[in-house]
Amino acid sequence: MSTLSLHGVSRVVAGHTILNDVTLKFPEGRISLLLGPNGAGKTTLLRLCALLDAPSGGELRLEPQGESAPSPARDGITMVFQRPGLFDRTVWDNLAYPLKVRGLAREECEARIREGMAVADLEALSGRQARSLSGGEAQRLALARAFVTRPAVLLLDEPVANLDPASRWRIEEMVLQMQDRFGTTVVLTTHDLLQARKIGDTVFFINRGRVSGGYETRGFFQSPPNEEVMRFISGVLHQELG
């Protein structure tokens, strides 16, 4: 099991500070929620953790190894976006690609692909073109593609936004299964507070580029740690830009 920690991390774009001196450690092998109003910096923080963007200051470390500047390919950091980026190939090919890149033997690749399709309930669609799938099917495929690589750290940016209730439930069950079976460290952003209560172990709260936490999920909602969090939970806190 592994987790990411951030130490004095900032992100400045065009003179605007999006993240300011963020220091935190996501609990190893647990599901951490990153909550906050629109524009607070949640996606920016996930992109830094996924090493898609570079911090303007500070550093990220993969723990327990303690390496700075970890490599996604080497250390198994995977991000699933709100709108999944699927290859214009079949469902099977989408699941096979990351395994072939990692150099897994053919038999191991096929076993993992079949397991991923079973977990995502996509067996009947293995020959379908990925871009012809429905929204819920496409998101299940994106998560299954992460599932088959056995990531150490899984980053999820609003994974159930705009999905129907059945698809939302299926995605949530897949996340819980991955965390339970492989000890995956999961970091998830969501605006669905019912979902947050259901699957989250720890909450980190972000607003105006600053992060506080991690709070135990039940306590975060039952006894908000401060007025700012209370206003967020009640729906009256909005990000002020400027």
Indicate the average pLDDT of the chain. Answer: 90
Q: What is the pLDDT of residue 64?
A: 59
How far is the first Cα of the chain from the last one, in angstroms, to the nearest whole number?
40
Vertex 111: Cα angle to 4 and 163 (nearest 5): 60
What is the C-alpha separation between 72 and 105, in angstroms, rounded?
21
Residue range 76-86: average pLDDT? 89
Decide: 8 and 68 in contact? Cβ < 8 Å: no
Choose the weakest-confidence range: 70-74, 140-144, 218-222, 229-233.
70-74
How does residue 46 score in pLDDT terms, banded at 50, 70 and 90? very high
Share of the chain residues as helix, strand and coil, in percent rounded to the nearest 5: 40, 25, 35
pLDDT digits (tens, 9 = 90+) for 118-149: 999 999 999 999 999 999 999 999 999 999 99
CATH entry 3.40.50.300 includes domain 3-84+151-233:
yes
Residue range 200-215: average pLDDT? 94
What is the C-alpha separation between 23 and 215, in angstroms, rounded?
15
Rounded to two decimals, the pTM is 0.90
Q: What is the pLDDT of residue 62?
A: 80
Choose the weakest-confidence range: 7-11, 16-20, 70-74, 107-111.
70-74
DSSP line for 85-97? ---SSBHHHHHHH
